[in-house]
């Protein structure tokens, strides 16, 4: 998807604004809804967290995604800017549908060619990609933007150069951007996070601790130095439970994974406490158990050992109770 918008809508009718009669039909599926009973507060230092539904692995349309997120009790959706659900839709159509259905949007931007970056991509190439992606994200007006960028293969001098320019782009576009602690990326190593955060005070984080569990081969717990260093810089959480040998347990509520669940939950509670104290509005959380090699499967049949939809819904309920 390439999102474009002229910004000048005077004198244009609905079909011209939306780009096609198909998009007009898409919008017509969503009458105005009032806020659901029990919906969390939207702002303020002590606001309840907003829980987003991941579209990782989802193959339906945006209309279907919106309907699903409402039916399953989520506050909105998190999806990659290149997700097929956005394909062919103009920015105005997407924004209007989300607004009418009262859905919060978090966009995910990925540089480097894929989730595991091409080692041949330079810092300049990553920055050029990021510039273009932020420009596209801007017209969709997301609540937040989660960025997966850079490479863990870069040395400190190269990383410093990269972060200085990347944060300059964030300032230029004025979006609420946080950078994910993702394997193979600049923030892959928990033991280097304190130095990076000290050097770049404007750097905000998406905490996905499951990646760090794999790299450090241990559970992340609140007393560890990396967790203490990052606690006041977290704006968004990916609520997936990892363990020392992998980024995703078979089922977070299975008794054999109780220790891992409690360790992650304790860190998330610390992040929420620090976030609330900073008057930064509602913390956002996306339960993000997913496919693509993350979900364990049975040998020979390759059948998944758990239902991802059920796991993410259960995690959403648990997080609301934990952080609400």
Residuewise pLDDT in 10s, the chain (324 residues): 455 454 433 333 323 333 333 444 544 444 333 232 233 344 544 579 999 999 999 999 999 999 999 999 999 999 999 999 999 999 999 999 999 999 999 999 999 999 999 999 999 999 999 999 999 999 999 999 999 999 999 999 999 999 999 999 999 999 999 999 999 999 999 999 999 999 999 999 999 999 999 999 999 999 999 999 999 999 999 999 999 999 999 999 999 999 999 999 999 999 999 999 998 889 999 999 999 999 999 999 999 999 999 999 999 999 999 998
d(CA 115, CA 125): 15
- In sequence order, what DSSP letters do the residues of 210-244 get, joined into one string? HHHHHHHTS---TTSHHHHHHGGGEEEEE----BT
pLDDT, position 164? 98
Per-residue confidence (pLDDT) for residue 14, from 0 to 100? 29
Residue 154: what pLDDT? 98
Pairing of strands 234-238, 205-207: parallel
pLDDT at residue 23, as a whole number: 42
The confidence score (pLDDT) of residue 5 equals 52
Token pair, residue 207, equals: 């905490």
Distance CA 219, CA 242 (A): 8
Whether the model pTM is above 0.85:
yes
Q: Extract the tokens encoding 19.
A: 């780009």
Q: Domain locations in the chain?
A: 49-323
**What confidence score (pLDDT) does residue 279 get?**
86
Name the 3-class secondary structure at 253.
coil
Cα 260 from Cα 324, distance rounded (Å): 21
Q: In whole angstroms, what is the distance from residue 211 CA to residue 306 CA?
A: 20
Tokens for 322, please give them: 């934990």
Q: So what's the pLDDT on residue 33?
A: 32
Show the tokens assigned to 178: 């946080």
What is the dotted CATH code of the domain comprising 49-323? 3.20.20.150
């Amino acid at each position: 998807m390439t999102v474009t918008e002229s910004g000048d809508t005077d004198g244009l009718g609905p079909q011209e604004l939306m780009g096609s009669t198909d998009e007009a039909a898409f919008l017509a599926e969503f009458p105005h809804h009032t806020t659901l009973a029990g919906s969390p507060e939207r702002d303020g230092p002590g606001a309840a967290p907003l829980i987003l539904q991941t579209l990782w692995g989802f193959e339906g349309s945006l209309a279907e995604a919106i309907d699903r997120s409402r039916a399953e009790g989520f506050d909105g959706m998190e999806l990659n800017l290149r997700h097929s659900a956005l394909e062919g839709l103009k920015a105005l159509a997407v924004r209007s549908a989300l607004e009418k259905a009262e859905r919060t949007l978090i966009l995910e931007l990925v540089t480097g060619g894929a989730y595991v970056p091409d080692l041949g991509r330079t810092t300049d190439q990553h920055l050029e990609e990021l510039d273009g992606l932020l420009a596209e994200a801007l017209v969709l007006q997301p609540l937040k933007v989660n960025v997966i960028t850079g490479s863990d293969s870069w040395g400190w001098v190269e990383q410093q150069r990269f972060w200085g320019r990347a944060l300059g782009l964030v300032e230029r576009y004025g979006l609420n951007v946080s950078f994910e602690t993702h394997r193979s990326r600049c923030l892959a190593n928990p033991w280097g996070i304190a130095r990076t955060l000290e050097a770049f005070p404007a750097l905000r984080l998406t905490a996905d601790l499951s990646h760090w569990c794999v790299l450090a081969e241990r559970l992340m717990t609140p007393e560890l130095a990396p967790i203490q260093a990052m606690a006041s810089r977290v704006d968004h959480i990916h609520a997936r439970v990892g363990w020392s040998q992998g980024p995703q347990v078979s089922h977070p509520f299975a008794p054999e994974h109780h220790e891992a669940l409690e360790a992650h939950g304790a860190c998330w509670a610390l992040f929420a406490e620090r976030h609330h104290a900073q008057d930064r509005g509602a913390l956002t959380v996306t339960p993000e158990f997913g496919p693509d090699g993350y979900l364990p499967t049975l040998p020979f049949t390759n059948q998944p050992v758990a239902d991802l939809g059920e796991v993410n819904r259960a995690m959403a309920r648990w997080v609301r109770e934990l952080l609400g």
